[in-house]
Structure 1
Amino acid sequence: MKSYIPMALSSLISLVATTVNAHTQIEYIDQQKLHDINRAVSATNIEKDIKKLVSFGTRHTLSETESDTRGIGAARRWIKAEFEAISKACGGCLEVYYQSEVISGEKRIPNATEVVSVIAIQRGQTDPNRFVMMSGDIDSRITDVMNFTDDAPGANDNASGLAGTLEAARVLSKYKFNGSIVYAALAGEEQGLFGGKIMAKQAKADGWRLKAVLNNDMIGNIEGVNGVINNTTARIFAEGTRQTENADDIRNRRFRGGEVDSPSRNLARYIDWMADRYIPNLDTMVVYRLDRFRRGGHHRPFNDLGFPGVRIMETNENYNRQHQDLRTENGIAYGDTIDGVNFDYAAKLTALNAVSLAGMAWAPTPPAQVSIKGAVSPDTTLSWQLANSKENPQLAGYKIYWRLTDAPQWQYSKFVGKVDSYTLKNVVIDNYFFGVASVSKDGFESPVVFPGHAGDFGD
């Protein structure tokens, strides 16, 4: 049976479709340099580094520090030497240092222990106090979290994420960026996220404009405990409402939205966008949760202080290889050993990090002080603060994005030039979520910033 639409209604539908479709095509400039970065990541280098990290026997936070061949002390000295070698190859482009604090009186660190991370910073050319960061964990453990003497190879958890961080530094150190990139080997994760807590606290004290934390924790396993084998997907965990909200922020968010548009969520959308465009045969799943159910990782201390952070990791975990004593029971081999790591897959996720870091570091700083208005109006107006021209000489202008409120990814966009406000005619504020990105003269874009405190990446 045919159905008929009254002419007046048909005209209205046509008008709405024309208004939306005028901006539905998201124009994006493909970046050859990001394709080059993807291809430069070496699975061979990652395999070599994971094998070296496993060779230290255990990297438990409470383990040996004096030996040159065993324990966490030997591991962190080797990591520092690797960063220094990378820096030497690029003419001293990395600042490499230890970051430490003595921890005691904690459930998993009862006695005074120096928790030592290794940090390498590649300073930006025009905006050196704006940072994006990739991290992996140094330490490892087995079944008993306090057992610091027996072998704990930690091949996937988390030599894979740390090897990826080293390889990203090798690749990206060959380029110069506007913003700074941090490569962090964080300690004390298994004992209570202490390396991340120390670094996040110091970043806040030093006034770092830290726009993105990409925590890589287990990026090498493709065979799940459920028997699924898949090297074509990855997960990005991103929390919703930020921890630093006050009562006014909560009230504003209730009426204006933002529950699914925290800076961490829009950072995750940015990384997902990069996967679609630059990493062949990889589909990322953005998970609307801080981390796996009732579990945690080293991005959390940064989220706790309001910094945008996500966890990047494999899709299919194998719990027989996580936090397990090395043994075989009932024909099942337990333990986090090198044979459980797929180096090509770890390279693929490392490349995803590298292109995302590069894209953000080449782009202008994300828009600040983004606001929106349009209640009881057919139009929507967004405003923001123009970026500092000295720090962002590459700025070409700004791009407004919007999407239906139940859509996971941005759907529509319009480049509006180097202005500090713009009105979208006949785009009703009530029907969409909106955001603004900064765009460079050669087309690199920042993550999208949702209006108000709920989506603010910081000044």
Structure 2
Amino acid sequence: MNKIYTTIFLIAFGTYTQAQTIVNRNQDIESMVKSVNKDSLKQYISTMVNFGTRSTLSDIKSKTRGIGAARNWVVAKFNQFAKQSDGRLTAFLDTTTFQPDGKRIDKATLLGNAVAILKGTDTNDKRVYVVSGHLDSRVTDVMNRTSDAPGANDDGSGVAGVIEAARLMSKYKFSATIIFVAVSGEEQSLLGSGFMAAKAKKEGWNIDAMLNNDMIGSNNSSETQIIDNTRLRVFSEGLPSYELDKNAKAIRQFGLENDGKSRQLARYVKEVGERYVDQLEVKLIYRNDRFLRGGDHTPFVENGFPAVRITEMNENFDHQHQDLRTENGIRYGDLQEFMDFEYLRKNTAVNISVLASLAKAPSSPVEVKIDVKNLSNSSSLYWKAPTNGQVKGYYVLMRETSSPIWEKKFFTTATELKIPYSKDNYLFAVQSVGKDDSESLPVVPGIGR
């Protein structure tokens, strides 16, 4: 496979390392990224807006208005793309009924998530990668099911990104399975994503990563009037909400407050997204979501799956959760005219590059350990080969304890490496590298003696 070389990452050390390591763009992923189409994204948004309202509580029988028509249209788009997948992509509406809760559900409601599953080519590879946006929209009153709620950016943009990813990625083969989903019920308290995450936990899905896209198409903020389409936020939890009590001692003892699986995923999004998408900086935000707010990745995090929220850098509150109106010369409402489709193109490309890189890569190395039997100013790591995929080698990652991102990569073809840096001063991880240079999620070492 041809490789497009981009960045000299480091001068490597150690018996098994190369003289220098080159990080490169995979040709297939590069092609997918370049094929993201602004006009396609705009067409998806226009169609969703034309359903009038997509409130979770709205009509499910009409063929032209309401959440029912919208979710059926998404499934139809997925089925359209299935024709180019050699039978690997299948689509369906996954439904469940929610009873009145005295809060945001006032009558029995049939909720449906529009789902497409792109099966991996390796039957032994059980990894699953999920990418989502929420299809439902709202106005000021979350219980208003009749007024027009265009939801162009919140979250037509996220769903458009998911649909475009399905269109492009269904043409390619991946070792692992990718699930594209437009969930419903987000504005009603994350109902659709909660339903899916609970199902995944109960059925034992091996979700290696989940990317939630919520508002990725607006470049400007209300109040501060900032205009910027060169930065994208990725939110990730620090301390794991799942079984924290069982892991707290080790986290404190080894200084791993910043190294949960979701935060490792966020770093991966930054590195890979910036590698493939030009003129875009991925900003790591160190909290699970915006201040006192939540998104569809949260139920996955709470069920123990690595998950992050991807969202625009500057929110415009005049154009979300608003009745359509004009007051004092300000036009309120989540309308398509307030979106930046070049920005949406770039943010969609980030998702595709990350999903493709993960699903192409071997699984992560297993039983990763750092040797502590002797006091030393060097660090020795060892591990076992991944259970899935062919590897050409491994990266040992290193960063200072205060650094938010991995700073050095040491390549080796062996399953061990000694490097002249003290484990007292640095943090380490190991990731698998595939024959096509795709990289797995990194694994922080445990204690080896």
| TM-score strictly above 0.5 | yes
Output the CA distance in 1 between the equivalents of 2:69 and 2:12.
64
- The AA in structure 1 aligned to 2:276 is Y
Output the CA distance in 1 between the equivalents of 2:70 and 2:64.
8
Output the CA distance in 2 between the equivalents of 1:279 and 1:190.
30
| 1:378–1:425 CA contact under 8 A, matched in 2 | no
Gaps of 5+ in 1: 1-16, 454-459
Query: Is 1:167 aligned to 2:167, yes or no?
Result: no
Output the CA distance in 2 between the equivalents of 1:249 and 1:349.
34
Output the CA distance in 1 between the equivalents of 2:340 and 2:446.
42
| 1:396–1:418 CA contact under 8 A, matched in 2 | no
* 1:436-447 superposed matches below 5 A: 436-447=430-441
Output the CA distance in 2 between the equivalents of 1:293 and 1:368.
35
- The AA in structure 2 aligned to 1:39 is K
The match for 1:196 is 193
Q: CA deviation at 1:386?
A: 2.3
| 2:12–2:19 CA contact under 8 A, matched in 1 | no
* 1:210-289 superposed matches below 5 A: 210-225=207-222, 226-289=224-287
| 2:92–2:115 CA contact under 8 A, matched in 1 | yes
Q: CA deviation at 1:105?
A: 3.4
* 1:42-441 superposed matches below 5 A: 42-106=37-101, 107-126=103-122, 127-225=124-222, 226-374=224-372, 376-388=375-387, 391-392=388-389, 394-419=390-415, 422-441=416-435
| 2:79–2:91 CA contact under 8 A, matched in 1 | yes
| RMSD, aligned CA | 2.0
| 2:18–2:411 CA contact under 8 A, matched in 1 | no
Q: CA deviation at 1:38?
A: 1.0
Output the CA distance in 1 between the equivalents of 2:347 and 2:314.
14
Q: CA deviation at 1:178?
A: 0.8
Q: TM-score, normalised by structure 2?
A: 0.92
Output the CA distance in 2 between the equivalents of 1:369 and 1:142.
50
Q: CA deviation at 1:367?
A: 2.5
Q: TM-score, normalised by structure 1?
A: 0.90
Quote the sequence identity (%): 43
The match for 2:3 is none
Q: CA deviation at 1:306?
A: 1.0
Output the CA distance in 1 between the equivalents of 2:440 and 2:207.
13
| 2:157–2:217 CA contact under 8 A, matched in 1 | yes
> 3-state DSSP class of the match of 2:46?
helix
Output the CA distance in 2 between the equivalents of 1:65 and 1:452.
51
- The AA in structure 2 aligned to 1:115 is L
Output the CA distance in 2 between the equivalents of 1:182 and 1:70.
26
> 3-state DSSP class of the match of 1:45?
helix
Q: CA deviation at 1:433?
A: 0.6
Output the CA distance in 1 between the equivalents of 2:111 and 2:35.
33
| 1:404–1:431 CA contact under 8 A, matched in 2 | yes
Q: CA deviation at 1:407?
A: 1.4
Detail structure 1 runs of 4+ shifted over 6 Å in the superposition. Answer: 17-20
| 1:128–1:179 CA contact under 8 A, matched in 2 | yes
Output the CA distance in 2 between the equivalents of 1:97 and 1:39.
28
Output the CA distance in 2 between the equivalents of 1:369 and 1:50.
45
Q: CA deviation at 1:246?
A: 4.3
- The AA in structure 1 aligned to 2:428 is F
Q: CA deviation at 1:370?
A: 2.7
Output the CA distance in 2 between the equivalents of 1:161 and 1:326.
21
Offset from partner CA, 1:314-359 (integer Å, 9 cap, x none): 1011000010000111111110011111112111100110011000
Gaps of 5+ in 2: 1-10
> 3-state DSSP class of the match of 1:164?
helix
Q: CA deviation at 1:63?
A: 0.3
Q: CA deviation at 1:442?
A: 1.7
Q: CA deviation at 1:313?
A: 1.1
